[in-house]
């Protein structure tokens, strides 16, 4: 899926590498938020552990729906999150460049 525009409500998963450290987040501006992770403009966990590869995302029309989905996925086991990633992105490619393509 190609995503264009500035305000894209989404739940997303970042990885440090294939089968590496995962980070789950939610945002109302997916492109900007991933850029913040990549440039380490967002201090914290992702900057500290080098988690900046966008490997999965789901787009929502409303932020409250995205937040509810994020809360649900946070309760999942890691193996379920890996299955989610591999269902969309079996090679764990960085999807960031596709956002604005």
The torsion angles phi and psi of 22, rounded to 5 degrees, stand at: -110, 150
Domains in the chain, please, with CATH?
Answer: 9-99 (3.40.1440.10)
Contact, 51 vs 23, CB < 8 A? yes
pLDDT: is 65 or 5 the higher one?
65
**Which pair of tokens denotes residue 76?**
């999942």
Sequence-ordered list of residues with C-beta below 8 angstroms from that of 99, at least 6 positions apart, any chain? 2, 3, 4, 8, 30, 31, 34, 54
pTM of the model: 0.91
The torsion angles phi and psi of 57, rounded to 5 degrees, stand at: -160, 155
Average pLDDT score over residue span 44-58:
96
**Which pair of tokens denotes residue 5?**
């525009």
Give the C-alpha separation, 98 to 70, whole Å: 22
Instruction: Give the model confidence (pLDDT) of 73-92 as tens digits.
Output: 999 999 999 999 999 999 99
The confidence score (pLDDT) of residue 10 equals 98
pLDDT at 58 exceeding the cut of 90: yes
């Amino acid at each position: 899926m190609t995503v264009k525009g500035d305000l894209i409500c989404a739940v997303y998963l970042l990885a440090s590498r294939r089968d590496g450290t995962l980070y789950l987040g939610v945002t109302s501006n997916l492109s900007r938020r991933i850029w913040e992770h990549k440039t380490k403009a967002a201090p914290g966990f992702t900057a500290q552990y080098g988690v900046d590869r966008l490997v999965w995302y789901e787009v929502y029309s409303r932020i409250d729906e995205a937040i509810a989905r994020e809360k649900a996925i946070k309760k999942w086991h890691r193996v379920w999150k890996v299955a989610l990633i591999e269902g969309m992105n079996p090679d764990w490619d960085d999807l960031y460049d596709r956002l604005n393509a």
